[in-house]
Amino acid sequence: MVTRGRTDGTRPVAADGVPDAVGEDATGGEGSAAPVSVLRPVRAGNGFEETLEQVLQLLRLGLVPPGDRLPAERELAQHLGVSRVTLREVLKVLQDQGMVESRRGRYGGTFVLPRAAAADGSDELRRRVAAVDVEDTLRFREVLETGAAGLCADGLADGGAARLRAALEATQGARLEDYRRRDTLLHLTLAELSGSRSLAAQYASVRATLNELLDCIPLLVRNLEHSQQQHAAVVEAVLDRDAEAAREMMREHCAGTAALLRGFLA
């Protein structure tokens, strides 16, 4: 795993026992234990895996709904900063999994298949879910969501209010099978309107993970109705510029999902 412990006990600078990352000395003494713990592997796997991650995110967020076409390979590859060859390897896998379908010729492309077909058989996807740190995901999500709601309430950019209302309405008219997608888009909109690109990007990432978890548990209509009310309340608070209320409502909303997931996955 990550916190590498060093097999032979020789260590030049103290640090016995538990190497907590930021464990610190007092007065300027040396002896930071394991400063490296904040380091993120520059390459979290190889190009293939990272690309797969990104494309899956696109699908899981519902940004490209079933039936729709992904951007052309050349374009997508450029966006991802990856060669077309590498991207094609990823698409090949997704095709084998029955998640997408490629059609040649003009007006062809790579199309997203409805989720049913995916059949979940894949080891790849199962291992993926198993590897998720649920607690991390839920906590981080709550932080980002409440933060985004607060920032939005502090001031929306031009057109923000309209986009928010539109996204909210879209969820209200959604059929059950489309609800998850609309819900995701509403939250993504909020994150985007927060005015912090970093926040939006992180939310997209964590939300993709969250959706993966949510796919593992049943969708209850009652929770859904409750969610709807909370969505409306959050949006209302944001439009009223009541940051405190927006945060509080959002926190409650997230807590609901979190409780549900903890219950089912624990």
Given the rule CB under 7 A, which residues bind DNA? 4-8, 10, 12, 42-43, 46-48, 70, 72-74, 81-86, 88, 91, 102-110
Question: Any bridge partners for residue 101, and if so which?
Answer: 111
| CA–CA separation, 152 and 238 (whole Å) | 6
Q: Shortest Cβ distance from residue 169 to its own copies (Å)?
A: 8
163, containing H or E segment? helix 160-172
* Alpha carbon separation from 131 to 127, 196, 217 (Å, rounded): 6, 28, 17
| CA–CA separation, 95 and 200 (whole Å) | 29
Q: Shortest Cβ distance from residue 240 to its own copies (Å)?
A: 19
Q: Shortest Cβ distance from residue 225 to its own copies (Å)?
A: 20
Pick what 73 binds: DNA, its own copies, none; C-beta below 5 to 8 Å, kind-dependent.
DNA
Q: Pick the closer one to DNA by CB: 28 or 159.
A: 28
Q: Shortest Cβ distance from residue 98 to DNA (Å)?
A: 15
Q: Pick the closer one to its own copies by CB: 6 or 222.
A: 6
Q: Within the chain, where are the H helices?
A: 47-60, 73-80, 84-96, 115-118, 123-130, 134-154, 160-172, 176-193, 197-214, 221-239, 243-265
Q: Pick the closer one to its own copies by CB: 38 or 266.
A: 38
Q: Which residues of 97-109 are buried (b: 16+ CB within 10 A; e: fewer)?
A: bbbbeeeeeeeeb
**How far is C-alpha 95 from the geometric centre of its chain's CA atoms?**
22
**Which residues, numbered 31-90, are part of the site for its own copies (CB under 8 A)?**
32, 35-36, 38-51, 54, 57-58, 61, 63-65, 67-69, 71, 75-76, 78-82, 89
Pick what 88 binds: DNA, its own copies, none; C-beta below 5 to 8 Å, kind-dependent.
DNA
Q: Pick the closer one to DNA by CB: 31 or 81.
A: 81
For tokens 């009652």, name the residue.
222
**Which residues, numbered 202-261, are part of the site for its own copies (CB under 8 A)?**
202, 204-206
**Which residues, numbered 132-151, are part of the site for its own copies (CB under 8 A)?**
133, 135-137, 139-140, 142-144, 146-148, 150-151
| CA–CA separation, 9 and 117 (whole Å) | 52
Cβ atoms of residues 218 and 67 within 8 Å: no
**Which residues, numbered 88-127, are part of the site for its own copies (CB under 8 A)?**
89, 92-93, 107
Pick what 169 binds: its own copies, DNA, none; C-beta below 5 to 8 Å, kind-dependent.
its own copies
Q: Shortest Cβ distance from residue 232 to its own copies (Å)?
A: 17
| CA–CA separation, 99 and 65 (whole Å) | 12
| CA–CA separation, 75 and 182 (whole Å) | 26
Pick what 102 binds: its own copies, DNA, none; C-beta below 5 to 8 Å, kind-dependent.
DNA
